[in-house]
Amino acid sequence: MRRQSSDGLLRSGATRQRATFLELFLDLVFVFALTRISARLIADFTDGQRGVYAGLGQALLLFLALWAVWSVTVWSTSWLDPEAPVVQTVIVMTLVGSMTMAVAVPNAFGARAALFAITFVTLQIGRVVYFHVAGHGRPDPQQSIRILFWFGLSAPLWVVGGLVNDGTVRAALWTAAVLIDYTGLLLGWPTPRLGAQRLGVQMIAAEHLAERYQQFLLIALGEAIFVIGLAFSGSEFHANQTGGFVLALASTVLLWRIYFHAAGGMLDAAIDRSRNAARLATEMAFAHMVMIAGIVLTGVGFELFITEPLGHLPAVWLIAILGGPALFLAGRSALEYQVFARVSRSRAAGLLALGLLVPVTVHLAPLTAGAASAVVLLGVVTADTRRSRRQPAETPTPPF
């Protein structure tokens, strides 16, 4: 029989480190949520009704809201016992609320704005209140107060933004709300008289937390594969479209290889060896957030050069075709620093190369621009492979 901690909610040494089936079930909702965000972006790049830049900003806000829900859930289940009934109930609440938010994403800045905002606020506040009441204040009643204090600051901005009719006002209110939510998460919800304290500062299940980050990264790659398959299956299967399909699949494999090479596979060891595991794990969350946003944007680029491989290349398409991989490499560079306290030259070279390609590829076909991006990713993978052959396997040395 599994030994529980003294209060029955905190993880104990005998609690399983692997993600539970309920947690994996929750992830399926976020697979769907990422497809809705991706679909919004594809529409913004192709039909121009909202405008690319406005659409990117809106999609970013929606993505950040969904990521906040998922990341706080993961932090909680890496600190608390995910098989405790109270924690499982909170996960089910998160599943229902996240699915409601996901179905509202396509019109979240229009007819479904109120649904998205009110669901988000209800979920974020409701599950903290439920956990506090059902858990009889255990294991840390002050943490509930901290989190509710910060949610109380952002909640009116979310709700009012969802109810107003002016899209510009809504964007401004939701941007302020996101900044408040993420400031609280990053700083550990500092609260008057109580101070700040990150979730799990007492004990973090490093293996569980690392696995959950890795799983969500794979979810993002899976969403990119979904986009690739949907785009190609709806095409005429012409030779150039087939080439775009193969190129997109190859690029996805390269993204997977870059992530899991060294640092991406050593997250748990880095957290275990860190002098400040809570801070390191928090910064890893932000690094993964950037990488996942980059993968989603890269998937949009796949759709563009599969469906219109040799057509005219609007300059804004390079935001997805080159900007997506660049965003991924930026996040991966941050993760590498968090694990090894250094950044490989291949990451910096890759970012520089993608930047230098912008004035060149703007005059080329979309498929050619996609091929140039893939060559850069291949160069990073090649450099990583050569480095691993010349040097022995590294031990994580986190900077703090």
List, for residues 343-360, the tens digit of each pLDDT value: 999 999 999 999 999 999
> Is it true that the peptide bond before 359 is cis, omega within 30 degrees of 0?
no
Q: Rounded to the nearest 5°, which phi and psi values hold at 198?
A: -70, 155
What pLDDT, on a 0 to 100 scale, did the predictor assign at position 1? Answer: 30
Percent of the chain with pLDDT over 90: 72
H helix intervals, 78-166: 85-104, 113-134, 141-163
At residue 188, the pLDDT reads: 85
Residue 274 near residue 19 (C-beta atoms within 8 A): no
Q: Looking at residue 63, what DSSP letter applies?
A: H
Which pLDDT score, from 0 to 100, does residue 341 have? 95
Residue 5 tokens, joined: 């901690």
**Of residues 249, 335, 325, 356, the one with CA closest to residue 288:** 335
Write down the pLDDT at residue 154: 97
Which one-letter amino acid corresponds to residue 89?
T
pLDDT digits 0-9 by tens, 248-275: 999 999 999 999 998 899 999 999 899 8
The burial of 21, by beta-carbon neighbours within 10 Å (0-12 exposed, 13-18 middle, 19 or more buried), is given as: exposed
Given this model, what pLDDT does residue 202 score? Answer: 57
Provide the pLDDT for residue 277. 85
Q: How does pLDDT run across 132-151, given as a tens digit for each residue?
A: 888 876 777 788 899 899 99
Mean pLDDT of 85-101: 95
Q: Give me the pLDDT at residue 12, please.
A: 67
Under 8 Å between Cβ of 138 and 9:
yes
Angstrom distances, CA of residue 136 to CA of 131, 142, 144, 269: 8, 12, 11, 34
Rounded to an integer, the average pLDDT of 41-57 is 89
Using an 8 Å Cβ cutoff, are 366 and 311 in contact?
yes
Q: Which CATH number fits domain 206-390: 1.10.150, 1.20.1410, 3.40.1710, 3.40.50?
A: 1.20.1410
Residue-averaged pLDDT of the chain: 91
pLDDT recorded at residue 333: 97
Contacts of the segment 170-176: beta carbons below 8 A, 24+ positions apart: 170/109, 170/113, 171/57, 171/58, 171/61, 171/109, 174/61, 174/117, 175/61
The enclosing H or E element of 348 equals: helix 345-361
Confidence tier at 16 by pLDDT (50, 70, 90): low
Tokens 């956990």 correspond to: 131
DSSP state of 10: B
CA 335/CA 352 separation, integer angstroms: 18
What are the tens digits of pLDDT across the range 302-336? 999 999 999 889 999 999 999 999 999 999 999 99
Segments in 135-205 forming alpha helices (H)? 141-163, 167-187
pLDDT at 35 over 70: yes
**Over residues 95-122, mean pLDDT:** 97
- Quick one: which of 31, 21, 16, 17 has its CA closest to 216? 31
pLDDT at 119 (0 to 100): 98
CATH 1.20.1410 intervals, the chain: 206-390
Q: Per residue in 59-85, pLDDT tens?
A: 999 999 999 999 989 888 887 888 889
Q: Which residues is 80 bridged to in the sheet?
A: 10
How large is the angle between the packed helices 277-307 and 366-390, nearest 10 degrees? 140
Q: Which residue(s) pair with 191 in the sheet?
A: 195
* Per-residue pLDDT tens over the stretch 183-229: 998 888 999 988 888 765 556 788 888 999 999 999 999 999 999 99
d(CA 104, CA 115): 7
Per the CB < 8 A criterion, the answer to whether 341 and 397 are in contact is: yes
pLDDT of residue 137: 66
